[in-house]
């Protein structure tokens, strides 16, 4: 069943906002920009997805979320999917330096309500908020969205959907598995017991519907920017 679409407060009515970005200077600049262009009742920030999810778990629900894709505790688009799962119906606008058209298209397919390049001027942010208030999806006019390849889109969306079911700890462990670390090494890296790692790995494979670590890695790769771009991951 599709979650109900969250409706932003209209026009002059103040809204609550969450900004998720690990760069303090940009986070401060974006916060000031939003306060300058829209009536803001409450604006909170988080440097990691984990911190944002913890805040949402307390029962607080913002009217809109501005999300950076390149956070220290997420890999590719799985962070966006986990956020959408934690706050169903809340519009998420991705704000990222990675504005390659295929990445933009993939964020929209994954469920983002808008995409704004980090270098954008205030008018772009104002237009995005207006579009979301009117129930529209927003992408700046100068970003060309390529037509989706049905097969590629289906595979990526399936991978993202599965990854979105992982907990934050499971997502971190899967990331380390993708780096080639063994259970003992992961236990050392995360300061947890090796049997705990084994239990998490079993849960990860069950959620992803796979029988081996290699298959789990392949699922993760379907959601990475390298898969979307067919090459090296772009810089933040």
Model confidence at 236: pLDDT above 50 = no
SS (H, E, C) 79-107: HHHHHHHHCCCCCEEEEECCCCHHHHHHH
Boundaries of CATH 1.10.10.10 in the chain? Answer: 150-229
CB-based contact 21:47 (threshold 8 Å): yes
* 166-3-154 Cα angle (round to 5): 60
Q: Which fold has domain 150-229?
A: Arc Repressor Mutant, subunit A (1.10.10)
Boundaries of CATH 3.40.50.2300 in the chain? Answer: 15-133
pLDDT at 19: 97
Percent of the chain having pLDDT more than 90?
47
List pLDDT tens digits, range 121-176. Answer: 999 999 999 999 899 999 998 887 766 554 455 556 667 777 778 887 888 898 88
Q: Cβ-count burial of 164 within 10 angstroms (0-12 exposed, 13-18 middle, 19+ buried)?
A: buried
- Which CATH superfamily, name and number, covers 15-133? Response regulator (3.40.50.2300)
- Using the structure block, give the residue that is written with the tokens 């998420």: 92
What predicted TM-score, i.e. pTM, was given to this entire model?
0.71
Least confident segment among 7-11, 59-63, 68-72, 105-109: 7-11
């Amino acid at each position: 069943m599709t979650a109900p679409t969250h409706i932003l407060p209209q026009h002059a009515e103040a809204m609550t906002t969450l900004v998720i970005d690990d760069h303090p200077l940009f986070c401060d600049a974006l916060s000031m920009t939003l306060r300058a262009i829209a009536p803001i009742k409450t604006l909170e920030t988080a440097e990691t997805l984990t911190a944002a999810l913890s805040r949402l778990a307390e029962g607080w629900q913002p009217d809109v979320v501005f999300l950076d894709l390149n956070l220290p505790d997420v890999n590719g688009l799985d962070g966006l999917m986990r956020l959408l799962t934690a706050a169903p119906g809340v519009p998420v606008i991705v704000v990222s330096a990675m504005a390659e058209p295929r990445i933009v298209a993939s964020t929209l397919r994954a469920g983002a309500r808008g995409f704004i390049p980090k270098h954008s001027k205030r008018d772009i942010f104002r237009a995005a908020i207006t579009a979301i208030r009117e129930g529209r999806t927003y992408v700046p006019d100068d970003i060309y969205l390529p037509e989706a390849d049905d097969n590629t889109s289906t595979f990526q969306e399936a991978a993202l959907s599965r990854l979105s079911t992982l907990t934050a700890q499971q997502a971190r462990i899967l990331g380390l598995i993708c780096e080639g670390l063994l259970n003992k090494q992961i236990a050392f890296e995360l300061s947890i017991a090796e049997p705990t790692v084994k239990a998490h790995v079993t849960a990860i494979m069950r959620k992803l519907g796979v029988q081996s670590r290699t298959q789990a890695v392949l699922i993760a790769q379907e959601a990475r920017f390298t898969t979307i771009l067919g090459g090296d991951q772009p810089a933040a």
